[in-house]
Each structure stands twice: as structure tokens, then as C-alpha cells.
Amino acid sequence: MASSLRSSGLFFSAARSSKPVSPSAAAHGQCRSFSKAPELKARGISQNVSLKPPAQPSAKVRIRTSLWSSLPQDIGLLPGTFIRPLWRDMPSLFEQPRQRLHMEWLWLKTGFQNFLGILAYSKWLNKGLPLRLRERRKAARELHQRMYTAFAAGDVNTIRKICCTGLSNSLSARIANRPSDERITWTLEKYNRTPATYFTGIRVVSDRVTQIPERPDSGVRQVVVRITSRQSTSTMSLPAKRGVQESAGSPSLRSETKSTSASQEPVAVKQQDCTEYIVFQKFRWMGEEEDWRIWGHTNPTTVEDLDSPFFAAGLTLSERLAATKELMEGRR
């Protein structure tokens, strides 16, 4: 803009009038008035010219922004999250019928309670929020592939963008500890469309939401998906750089190129079928929503977990809350 103003100034200064100037006009032009206050006052023009300051965010917006930046991302797996194991990992109906029936009942009860919680959170506590039922599997697929691809490529920026703090710090530390000449590639061969995922490769096994206390229009939604896939990873070592460069036509360079291409061949390729339980979540803070982020991996509920106050049978609501409080405070 400064250059355009200078050009405009030069343009207007060059475009002078070609008419002759009278002596009186020239004499008047040579006189310079040191003050135009009486003239402005006579015309009714105010002398005080105040510049409007730039708009500043309100105190409410600043407080909300500071609280949002200080909000912890690693809240852990929500207490009482039930994750149904695979069929082969479920207790036997003939050897452990009580535990098996208890797990089946917990699966039905928690699924119904979780759906009612999402419905209340989206339609009553925060009116107008979408249920995002179809969005869950799509978000899980994209985050899963982006996380592993970024980890293999050493893309720390992407990892910090799509992962929670604890997971991103762990993956970044592992990237920093790699040898400088090591390169890793990750490939998703296919999704194993088994009955455990309803023949889709990705199945939502838990979807819970909770309201943040004493904060209106704030909460967190946490989804656990089971992903069955075939993945392959390869590791290669890059050749060491030589300080002396030779001409392009020399035989030594051609032999070096061949050895370089040979040394870049993958030295370790691993392919396996994986079953993962990925946890990802979305924060909502005073009406503003964050993008989905991966919290990490988890394990399905086991028979030993049935003794915890979250799943134990025969407890009243007050007893369950008291036992949960003691467990969270570390008294047990």
C-alpha cells in the first residue's frame, strides 16, 4: 500500500496545471498560515479529532479463551466405560455362567444408558447438537490412518494436532529416539470385515458423554471403536553421506548409486492382523467444539473388572458412588 501511495503521490504531483499563474495567486500561495483554528471554528468544525481504538475482545471472550487453552485433554477413560470383549474372550456360558450373564446384562444396560445420555446431552442440555452417529466411524477411520502415517513419517506437527497431550508426547519421544538414518513406512493393507465389527472393519463399542460440572454448555464425548485390520510396516536404513562428490560420468559414482539403491531396500517387513480398541474424544467448552482427537488405546472389560464398583452387582446408587469416590481418591 505504501508503494501505491507513493505512486499516486508522484502521479498527482506530476499532473500540474498548464494555465499561467497570476502574481496575486502566486503571492497567496507563498503565504503559509500557522494556525487555522479561527477558520475551523468559524465553520463549525470541531478541532478535537479522536481516533477510534481497535476493537478488543470482551472480558468474557478473553476468560473463555484462557480457560479453553488451559483445559486438560488427558482426562483418561471415562469411569464406568464397558467395552464388550470378543466372543472368544468372553467367559464360557458353561464354566462361568454367572459372569457371562453379568457381562451380557452390562452390555445391554450400558448401551441403553449411553444412548439416553447422548440424547439428553444433544437435545436437552445443549439444544440443537447433532447426534453424530454416522460421523463416529468415519472420524475413527481418518484419525487411525493419519496417526500411524504421521508416526511412520515422523510428522510431529500432525501428531500434536490429532492426538491428545499424553499420546502425542509419547509418540514424539519415540520419533526423537529413532536413529537418524532409519526410515519407517506404514501401510494399511485392508480392513478385516469380521462379525466382530459387523463386517465393516470398524465397530463402535462404547459412546459416552458427560457434562463438565459448573460450566454451562460444556462437556466431553468419548467414543471407543474396535478396528480389525491387516497392517504392514517396513524399516530401511539410509546410506551414510560421503563428503567427496565425484563426477556424474565416473564409474565410482555409478557403483555408488547401485550400492545406495541396494542399501535402501527394506531390511525388515512385518505384516500382521491387528485388533485395536481406539479411544477418541471431542471437547465442548462454553458452546465451542474442538475437533476429534485420539486419546489412545485401551483394553476390553475383563472378568476381573466385574468386581469394581462401576460394574459390581447388588450395590445401590449411593453405595456405588461412595465406592467410586474411594477408588478415585486412592483409598483402595
Domain ranges for the chain? 83-180+190-231+275-301
Q: What is the mean pLDDT of the segment spanning 222-245? A: 83
| Residues contacting residue 187 through CB under 8 Å, at least 6 positions apart | 231, 232, 233, 234
Q: What is the pTM of this model?
A: 0.73
The predicted-structure confidence for 264-317, as pLDDT tens digits, reads as follows: 555 678 999 999 999 999 999 888 899 999 999 999 999 999 998 889 888 777
Q: What is the mean pLDDT of the segment spanning 215-232? A: 94
| pLDDT at residue number 56 | 59
Rounded-to-integer distance, Cα 261 and Cα 283, Å: 47
Q: What is the mean pLDDT of the segment spanning 147-155? A: 97
| pLDDT at residue number 318 | 80
Among the ranges given (8-12, 171-175, 276-280, 287-291), the one the predictor scored with the smallest mean pLDDT: 8-12
pLDDT band at 30 (very low <50, low <70, confident <90, very high): very low
Stronger pLDDT, 76 or 51, i.e. the higher one: 76
Whether the per-residue pLDDT at 38 is higher than 60: the answer is: no
Stronger pLDDT, 175 or 12, i.e. the higher one: 175
CATH topology assigned to domain 83-180+190-231+275-301: Nuclear Transport Factor 2; Chain: A, (3.10.450)
What is the Cα gyration radius of the chain? 34
Strands 202-211 vs 268-285: parallel, antiparallel or unpaired: unpaired
Stronger pLDDT, 323 or 292, i.e. the higher one: 292
| pLDDT at residue number 149 | 97
Whether the per-residue pLDDT at 6 is higher than 80: the answer is: no
Q: How far is CA 156 from CA 69, 118, 152, 253, 296, in A?
A: 20, 33, 10, 35, 16
Neighbours of 144 (CB within 10 A): 20
